[in-house]
A and B are shown apart, each in its own frame.
Chain A
Amino acid sequence: MHPDLILAAGASSPAIADAVASAIRLTTPLLLAALGAVFTERGGVVNIGLEGMMIFGAFWSAWGAYTYGPLAGLAIGAVAGAIMSLVHAIVSVTFRVDQIVSGVAINTLAYGLVRVASQALFHSATTSPSVPSLTRIDVPLLDRIPALQPLMANLSPLIVFAFALVPVSWWVLNRTVFGLRLRSVGENPLAADTLGINVALMRYAGVLISGLLAGLAGGYLAVEQTSMYVEGMTAGRGFVALAAMIFGNWTPVGAMLASLLFGLADSLSIRVTIPHVPYQFVNSLPYILTIVVLAGAVGHARAPAADGVPYERSGE
């Protein structure tokens, strides 16, 4: 934590670009997880276990990158997240257990599993050795502009991927049959059921997508951002991503904008000192912001109508 810059009017241009670049980097894991959350919640399943899936993804992608290289690592991390989410889907969709309880259990489970695996594989419960990252890329043409240099050069490909996923997600949700049916299941599963749609299957799909993306988000943290796995590196980002989704009104673009806001808060929190305010509170900015958002957003934002309610076809 280096409180080495005080942002004020007239700060130098590279410093601003630097802060923005840092914000974008910090946004990426939030964005991935928040996009995943959009899919699961539009399908009607609340996924509090996003944090646990990120942890799981972070660890396994570190192991994968260590053993096979960064790309394989990220893929393995995504799959790991998906496997965790499968447990959540089975428990909350098939067995209709309360979705919040299931999510909390997933978080606990992930935490324990990762510790054991880390101890077994790396002989340390809390850290991994350093792992290789993906080669950095530069955005062609734009990286020639000096002012934009920090933003457009030396980017992790995953950042580009994450932002590209936003329009893709929008397209899947609004321009495919799958997206239409997924959304219907989150709004009125009874109506969807009477029209012949397999509610459980759709919900599973939404949950698995969120697991994949949360695992990938964890993978970004471990492989791309710090080049190693450290226990606690997710630092509540899974929950912040949920808040971003809510703030973004359950849409991909909204989730992106909200994640950027949180990413900016995160970036400021490590770069800024406010006179008389202890740095710990500045660091807590993202969490405080989440609470503010939740306190204000509800009432303006509209969740999918059947979000969080297990679907039970009542007999005659």
Chain B
Amino acid sequence: MKRRWVSLGLSLLGPVSALLISAILGAFVMLAIGKNPLQVYAVMISYNLGQLDSIGSIFYRATPLIFSGLAVAIGFKAGLFNIGVEGQYYLGAFFASWAGVYIKGLPAYIHLPLVILFGIAGGVIWAWLPIYLKVKRGAHEVITTIMMNSIASAVMLYFIHDVFMDQNQGTLGAPRVRMPPIQPTARMPTMLGFLHAIGIDMPNYVAINWFLVLAVLAAVAVYYVLWRTPFGYELRAVGQNPQAAEAAGINTKRIQYQAFLLSGAIAGLVGLSDLLTYFGYLDIDFPKGYGFSGIAVALLANNNPFGIILSSLLFGFLERGGLGIQALAGVPREVTTILEGVVILTVVTVTAIIGRQVRAYERHMAAIATAAEPPVDTRAPGGGQ
């Protein structure tokens, strides 16, 4: 039992020290622009936790990050870098939007799930080419996925502006570059009614919705798949020692393929919370950057699904806090973006260092235990003669 606590403590050491270091570095940045860090952090905390709408907003912002973090983490666990979550979620949002606008006549309990499936399909389709090229031709998936991200932007622009742009916007002035509104049967309801029923009076403008629940369920599901199924076992083995996996009869290429497509599938869900609850239509200014934030979220949580929920909340906290400190303390909200980058670097560095120390210590202890056993060279040959 003690081992469990020790190893839990060690695994938290990385993220916690990273956060501390980031807070300190962020303080330097604030000082550089003439602000008092303590005051700024105080404002951030009171703004975030002292208001109900902030808390709700944090959960809302965390929702896409949970999906993104899970997508990235699955890739990491299999030894793959899915930097393409960004493009995969654009395509997911587009497919979902199309299904939400143009498939008519379905009741909500069929339409909404169908739209979600379209979103998943979009992510899978966009993830296919990089993993195919990696498995067949050894093309490094980092660069190919990043290229796919750029191409995705172009594709989105084409479809939204040239093909599906809403011509019936009827407002004065220049029409927005967006697709037609998604039908009500495909919209995801907010959790406001539910929260109200249990006594939480969340203001109407907070879009906290049932995708949050879906995200948490997805995290639980990912945990169970990775650690409680043969598929997840093979995935982790391939990520940690492909040669031993191969010798044990695991088909490493097929596992990599499947893992990456699964990652793409979850990536397809990233944009749906914003699309189906808040916006209701796919706009050229659809939120960007969830893909990269997902990398930060996954690294901070060391690719653990439950940790990803926590780190997503943290990043949601930071982003919300950014608004607060900008409005109330005059600090540009981009400071929180810097904190994200610093967090990634410190986490991976500290984790690498700690990991090596722990392993060296454990090996040292094991070597001593071995030396306590009789040494090899005094062995009597073959049981005597």
Contact = CB atoms under 8 A, between A and B. Distances in A.
Interface of A: 48, 87, 91, 95-98, 100-102, 104-113, 115-116, 119-120, 125, 235-236, 239, 242-243, 278, 280-281, 283-284, 287-288, 290-291, 294-296, 298-299
Nearest to A243: B143
Interface of B: 29, 33, 81, 83, 129, 133, 137-140, 142-144, 146-151, 154-155, 157-158, 162, 292, 295-296, 299, 332, 334-342, 344-345, 348-349, 352-353
Given A106-B341, A236-B150, A284-B151, 9 more contacts: A97-B349, A101-B348, A102-B348, A105-B296, A112-B338, A119-B332, A242-B143, A287-B148, A295-B144
A119 B147 contact: no
Given A111-B341, A299-B137, A97 B352 contact: yes
10 shortest A-B CB distances, which residue pairs? A109-B341, A112-B337, A115-B334, A112-B338, A105-B344, A280-B154, A108-B341, A280-B158, A119-B332, A294-B139
28 contacts: A97-B352, A102-B348, A104-B292, A105-B296, A109-B341, A109-B345, A111-B337, A111-B341, A113-B341, A115-B334, A116-B29, A125-B332, A125-B334, A235-B150, A236-B147, A239-B143, A239-B146, A281-B154, A283-B154, A287-B147, A287-B148, A291-B133, A291-B144, A291-B147, A291-B148, A294-B143, A298-B137, A299-B138
Contacts of B352: 95-97
A239 B340 contact: no
Contacts of B157: 280
Output the residue of B129, B341, B344, B352 with the most chain A CB within 10 A: B341
Given A100-B142, A236-B146, A280-B158, A291 B129 contact: yes
A298 B341 contact: no
Main secondary structure of the interface of A (DSSP, over half): helix
Nearest to B149: A236
Nearest to B140: A294
Nearest to B339: A112
A298 B139 contact: yes
Contact of A278 (B129, B139, B142, B158): B158
B138 A109 contact: no
B150 A87 contact: no
A102 B341 CA distance: 10
Given A108-B340, A113-B338, A295-B139, A120 B332 contact: yes
Contacts of B339: 112
B162 A278 contact: yes
Residue from the set A87, A95, A101, A105 with the largest chain B CB neighbour count within 10 Å: A105
A106 to B, nearest CB: 8
A287 B345 contact: no
Contact of B353 (A87, A95, A243): A95
B340 to A, nearest CB: 6
B155 A280 contact: yes
B151 A102 contact: no
Nearest to A87: B345
Contacts of B342: 109
